[in-house]
Amino acid sequence: MEVLWESAKQVYAFLAVIPVVPFVLIYLGYSAYFGDRKKAFRLAMDITTALLIGCVTVLFNRIFGSSFGFFGILLMLLLGAGLLGNLQYRSKGRVNAKRIFRGVWRIGFFVMSMLYILFMIMGMGQTFLLAD
């Protein structure tokens, strides 16, 4: 069982290092097999979000020397869900949890993508500045 867990962690780490690669592979594979590009894009976004969360967490922790990265991301996702839930309740009078989760997850994709790029640039800058 431990070997299986370690293998799963290795595969996740490999895919999370460059999240563009799994995104493209999922998008191309799904759209080629099923022919639905819109659904392929959404599926690729959803899966890549999980990889980006892990990668941004590690980058945040390394750059800022803390262990708050994952909890900070989780806090932002929960706050976003609360704000979207409040907006939905005020406009429609009811809350659809599935739509809120999907909305927060997809907004998280774009936010995590931007943070990934920002933290990669910051991390490379720190590495090059400290190497001199």
The band of 13, judged by pLDDT with boundaries at 50, 70 and 90, is: confident
Cβ burial, residue 32 (10 Å; 0-12/13-18/19+): exposed
- Opening angle at CA 58, ends 57 and 61, nearest 5: 85
pLDDT at 117 over 70: yes
Three-class secondary structure of residue 107 per DSSP: helix
pTM attached to this predicted model: 0.85
The band of 132, judged by pLDDT with boundaries at 50, 70 and 90, is: low
Q: List, for residues 18-63, the tens digit of each pLDDT value.
A: 888 999 999 999 999 998 899 999 999 999 999 999 999 999 999 9
Q: Where are the domains of the chain?
A: 2-131
Structure tokens at 70: 């994952």
Which ranges in the chain belong to alpha helices (H)?
2-17, 20-34, 37-64, 69-92, 97-131
